Chain A
Amino acid sequence: MSYCLDCIQTSFKTLASRPFLSVLSILTMGVGIGTLMNHFIIYKGVMDPNLPFPNSEEIVTVSFVGDVEQSNKNIPKHLIYYWINNQTSFEALSSFQEGTINVYYQNRAIRYSGGWVHPNLMDMLKAKPFLGETFKPGDDELESPKKVILSYKIWKNDFAADPSIVGKEILVNSESTMVVGVMEEGFHFPFQSDLWVPDTYYPGAMLPYDPKPTSMVAARLKEGVSMVDAGKELDQLKEDFVAAIPKLYQASIPTDSQVNVASFVSMMTDEVTRNIMKLMAAVVILVMFIASANVSNLMLASASTRLKEIAIRNAVGANRTQIITLLLLEGAIIASSGIVPGTIFSLWTIDWVNAQITQQNEIPFWFQFSVTGTSILWGSTIAVITGLVAGILPALKVSKLKMSQILQDDSRTASSLHVNATNRTLVVLQISVSCALLVVAGMMIRQIASYQNKTFTFESDSVLTARLGLFDGKYKSLESKNEFIQTLLRNLRNEELISSAAISTRLQNLYSSFDLGFQLPTEDGTGFKDQEHRSHSDLVTTDYFDVLGVGPIEGRKFPERIVSGPTEDLEVIVTEEFVEKHFPDESPIGKRISIRTIDQSSEIKKIGKTYEIIGIAPDTFVHNDYIDEIDSVGIYLNILKAPPRFITIMVRPAEGLNPYSLVPLLKRSVAEVDKEIPLYFIETPGDSLKQEYAGLQFAAEWFSILSGLALFLSFVGIFGISSFSILQRIQEIGIRKSIGSTSLEIFTLILRQGLAQLLLGLTLGVIAALTLSVALKDLTYNINPFDPIVYLSVILILTVSTLLAAIYPASKAARIMPAEATRVQ
């Protein structure tokens, strides 16, 4: 112990004797450790968070997994209730859905993300209320009094922390509802919910065994029961349930899929996010490798100039183990001295990480990151291990040397160690790892740029959109919804600040509303062809295309008001792309197509309705479910014929006005029609798009930081090794100059060494980059792993930085005076 303390003391002295290199090493290690800590925080927070309920690791969720389909977490309610009543693997099994819930209280209308939950959810989670109580059995029955539970956050922020809130009535989705409880601070479930209502289950009001009403499942495993066994039980119960219901409805249950039970967090974090986390973990390990190689290089260089010291230690009795211990401890001290700057770096940057994360919509509540004792401990442990690993190579090399020769001969120093070859190998590896990381970061940045350059055929920053929900409590009928829509549009059109206004179903005017299946007419127009086509579709009002500013439509628009019933005068407007694809040689106006209804329930799905094509609109684009697919909309229907629950208001401001200047006016106009309805997602489609890309943007920025760090570390490595090389070759340089070598030749000599390392590093790096980017393509986004621009840019960046790192030492070498150099021993 005493020896170790002496070693530590000696190590600090050694560091103090080389202040510049030591500070540089400590700072680079600090950035490395800080990045490592942050990644640990993010990785742990995303993949294995501490959820705010007891024994959260016991909470699981359930999905159907088929052979070819993606996992489906939406389970028919009939089956969920069957499971609830018959399962034995879980302490409790519950259900939940998350979505918009409107609240109106004390003249304020606010939209929240809320949960429709089974009454046993809070008990299953073992979550206690801060005030009042949780739901009771039977609260989910149709005729039960309406109840709501608030989160601590909204109780404090929006209900003025009213201590007597329990028992008060508020309007929830336009229905009078009693507050029965406030949850403890920090409780959210499943993702961002801030209030909860019982998910009403009313079999009598649903089609028998209708698969459409679905929920997601959360359950708490009994002690000793594995997820696999629990899944088998639910699978068996599913089979029992299917056998017990009439044959007609059996198709409503996916019998060809297996029930999969998995931890709640793992199933609720999407696969792309999880894959990116894993990929980043690999990247962080690579960056730490570079940092480790740098420490190792530094120590090798240091060891070569300290051979005499080490030989003296050996002569006075230090054995091989003691010499190795000394060097390993030095490595660990260099690495661990980065812990304090690393923690500061982590504290400094974690807020940026949180800001980036919260830019995204609807992120899970557990995506909140902070520096913890565990993260510091983890980063510190890895740092010390990195340092120890970095010290192994120099320690082993030094400990094998013939010390007697070193003690007798001053000229035998670095050459005895053969450090040049080792140093250069490490630098080559650093360059290749940096190359691979830069290529990956470059590809992600290119991907972001390609999304941002996508044209949506309309000016996405010139239109303001806002979402609202018309809930059944007040807007159950088609007429009531239409009355709201038409009154609102009329009021908006009368405003001077507004150039045009429309309604659509398209969320933020970006995302595909729904797919339609349709059949084209036969040649003689008397019937429809058998083949079914599919197309993106949207429900819109008449001025929709004017608001977007995409130009006039050919034919006619939808009528402003409907004069006949919803099932008569069925009309569609199709897009230019639709016409090009399906009516290439004729005008489709006046032609009829057969469209299957939007309703996907098994009974109604079979009914096709005939629609007349009345107009042709320019193409506009929407996102599919996956961010990397952007397609043209094909068919527009009149929203007034089937107004949905959620609609998007779209307004184009008068000439010269900023769209955001219309926000107060828009809110006031909606309140004038119905003061209980809150607006949300108020922004331009352009800004919505930025939010949509925030996740990818963050991943790209994080990759860029890591690769920048890798580049910097490599730069330091090349600089250090070039400088060290000159120290070793100073006599050689002197002799070369004495026999006539010019400064330029010396400069080239040193530079050539750096360029050789660069060439080899780039070759290996490009191979590694190709491998990594092909893996990235499979794991995450649809990037082009062979993008030449990225590769060329990275090669250029690395070449320039390598030259910069080598130029200073090379020019220093060129300035060496021969007399001075040949005197140096």
Chain B
Amino acid sequence: MPENDPYIIKLEGIEKVYYTDEIETYALSGVHLNIKKGEFVVISGPSGCGKSTLLSIAGLLDLPTVGNYRFRTHDTANLKGKERASIRNNEIGFIFQSFNLIGNLTVFENVELPLIYRRIKKEKRKEMTLAALERVQMTHRRNHLPSQLSGGQQQRVAVARAIVGGPAVMFADEPTGNLDTQNGNRVMEILKELNNDGATLVMVTHEKAYESYADRVVKMLDGKVMEIVDQKSKRGVA
């Protein structure tokens, strides 16, 4: 990718096919999507439309069956498992609907985990972890286990874990799906703040209300991108 290329994510002709016995199921079909650095993109659509699959491929958790995917300077088709893991660790942050915190690790240890895999020294890890927790205002609960937190608090911890390593892109899969409106709004505010600070954000959601936070909304149906709404320009027009 040339240095002046504005796109941090370039998905071209992405297909994802699941094979069950002799039946082929197309989860994604001919998806083209480019995302710029610093953009906040929401992927929306009904259940089963392929939005989470698209997020997994974009987040290097899964491989497309067909198509090209360039993530920053990496042509992902040729990456080995170890390299994909390294990119996830250094350049990507994930937030999941069901928080996905490790139950027997404390809040601090959960947030610290990506830094351990990055082999950062303990003192530095502590400093970075506390900074991330401070950002989501969870420092006071750092020694608690996930089971001792509310859903909203758990998701804030998950956000802290996603941002602790300073990722280039954050992927959020229905981050408010398991939260009440108040906690959902709070998480969205944090995400927006991060985006305002320069983070690129790709979020899957089916809640219309949160589409307004995005610069662009990618609407999907049956594994295809049906429409991309540029809300920034809309806002600009307005």
The residues of A with any CB-CB pair to B shorter than 8 Å are: 2-3, 6, 10, 13-14, 16-17, 308-309, 311-322, 402-404, 407-408, 410
Residues B56 and A316 in contact, CB atoms below 8 Å apart: no
Most buried by A among B61, B62, B86, B119: B61
24 residue pairs from A and B, CB less than 8 Å apart: A2-B122, A10-B105, A13-B104, A13-B105, A17-B104, A308-B100, A309-B102, A309-B103, A312-B102, A314-B61, A315-B100, A316-B89, A316-B117, A317-B118, A317-B165, A318-B85, A318-B117, A319-B81, A319-B82, A322-B85, A404-B61, A407-B56, A407-B100, A408-B96
Across-interface contacts of A321 in B (CB, < 8 A)? 82
Please give the distance in Å from A4's CB to the nearest CB on chain B: 11
Please give the distance in Å from B27's CB to the nearest CB on chain A: 11
Residues B104 and A14 in contact, CB atoms below 8 Å apart: yes
The answer for the CA separation of A17 and B119 in the assembled complex, in Å, is: 26
Across-interface contacts of A16 in B (CB, < 8 A)? 104
The answer for the CA separation of A404 and B62 in the assembled complex, in Å, is: 6
Residues A320 and B62 in contact, CB atoms below 8 Å apart: no
The answer for the CA separation of A358 and B82 in the assembled complex, in Å, is: 60
Q: Indicate whether B52 reaches chain A with its CB closer than 8 angstroms.
A: yes
Across-interface contacts of B121 in A (CB, < 8 A)? 2
Across-interface contacts of B101 in A (CB, < 8 A)? 312
Residues B86 and A317 in contact, CB atoms below 8 Å apart: yes
Please give the distance in Å from B121's CB to the nearest CB on chain A: 7
Across-interface contacts of B98 in A (CB, < 8 A)? 410
8 additional contacts, CB 8 Å, given A316-B89, A408-B52?
A3-B117, A315-B59, A315-B94, A316-B94, A316-B117, A317-B90, A319-B86, A321-B82
Q: Indicate whether B113 reaches chain A with its CB closer than 8 angstroms.
A: yes
The answer for the CA separation of A352 and B101 in the assembled complex, in Å, is: 51
Please give the distance in Å from A44's CB to the nearest CB on chain B: 41
Classify chain B's interface size. 20 to 34
Contact indicator per residue, chain B 43-63, by CB within 8 Å of chain A (1) or not (0): 000000000100010010110
Q: Indicate whether B175 reaches chain A with its CB closer than 8 angstroms.
A: no
Q: Indicate whether B39 reaches chain A with its CB closer than 8 angstroms.
A: no
B169-210 CB contacts (< 8 Å) to partner A: 173
The answer for the CA separation of A16 and B105 in the assembled complex, in Å, is: 12
The answer for the CA separation of A407 and B101 in the assembled complex, in Å, is: 11
Residues B119 and A312 in contact, CB atoms below 8 Å apart: no
Residues B104 and A402 in contact, CB atoms below 8 Å apart: no
Q: Indicate whether B88 reaches chain A with its CB closer than 8 angstroms.
A: yes
Residues B82 and A315 in contact, CB atoms below 8 Å apart: no
Q: A402-B62, A407-B61 are in contact. Are A314 and B85 (CB under 8 A)?
A: yes
Across-interface contacts of B94 in A (CB, < 8 A)? 315-316
B142-190 CB contacts (< 8 Å) to partner A: 161, 165, 173
Across-interface contacts of B52 in A (CB, < 8 A)? 408
Residues A6 and B104 in contact, CB atoms below 8 Å apart: no
The answer for the CA separation of A402 and B19 in the assembled complex, in Å, is: 14
Residues B56 and A404 in contact, CB atoms below 8 Å apart: yes
Across-interface contacts of B61 in A (CB, < 8 A)? 314-315, 403-404, 407
Residues B82 and A316 in contact, CB atoms below 8 Å apart: no
Residues A317 and B102 in contact, CB atoms below 8 Å apart: no
Q: Indicate whether B116 reaches chain A with its CB closer than 8 angstroms.
A: yes
Please give the distance in Å from B176's CB to the nearest CB on chain A: 16
Q: A317-B118, A403-B61, A404-B56 are in contact. Are A312 and B100 (CB under 8 A)?
A: yes
Across-interface contacts of A318 in B (CB, < 8 A)? 85, 89, 117
Residues A317 and B81 in contact, CB atoms below 8 Å apart: no
The answer for the CA separation of A407 and B62 in the assembled complex, in Å, is: 11
The answer for the CA separation of A408 and B52 in the assembled complex, in Å, is: 8
Residues A313 and B82 in contact, CB atoms below 8 Å apart: no
The answer for the CA separation of A308 and B97 in the assembled complex, in Å, is: 13
Please give the distance in Å from B40's CB to the nearest CB on chain A: 21
User: Which of A3, A308, A403, A408 is B116 in contact with, Cβ under 8 Å?
Assistant: A3
Residues A317 and B105 in contact, CB atoms below 8 Å apart: no
B62-95 CB contacts (< 8 Å) to partner A: 62, 81-82, 85-86, 88-90, 94
The answer for the CA separation of A3 and B81 in the assembled complex, in Å, is: 19
Residues B56 and A320 in contact, CB atoms below 8 Å apart: no
Contact indicator per residue, chain B 93-136, by CB within 8 Å of chain A (1) or not (0): 01010101111110000000110111101100000000000000
Across-interface contacts of A3 in B (CB, < 8 A)? 116-117, 119
The answer for the CA separation of A312 and B90 in the assembled complex, in Å, is: 15
Residues A317 and B89 in contact, CB atoms below 8 Å apart: yes
Across-interface contacts of A313 in B (CB, < 8 A)? 102, 113, 117
Residues B117 and A317 in contact, CB atoms below 8 Å apart: yes
Please give the distance in Å from B87's CB to the nearest CB on chain A: 8
Please give the distance in Å from A415's CB to the nearest CB on chain B: 14
Which residue of chain B is the closest to A10 with respect to CB atoms?
A: B105
Across-interface contacts of B103 in A (CB, < 8 A)? 17, 309
The answer for the CA separation of A476 and B120 in the assembled complex, in Å, is: 90
Residues B113 and A316 in contact, CB atoms below 8 Å apart: yes
User: Which of B81, B88, B122 is A316 in contact with, Cβ under 8 Å?
Assistant: B88
Please give the distance in Å from B127's CB to the nearest CB on chain A: 16
Residues A320 and B82 in contact, CB atoms below 8 Å apart: yes
The answer for the CA separation of A41 and B94 in the assembled complex, in Å, is: 54
Across-interface contacts of A319 in B (CB, < 8 A)? 81-82, 85-86, 117
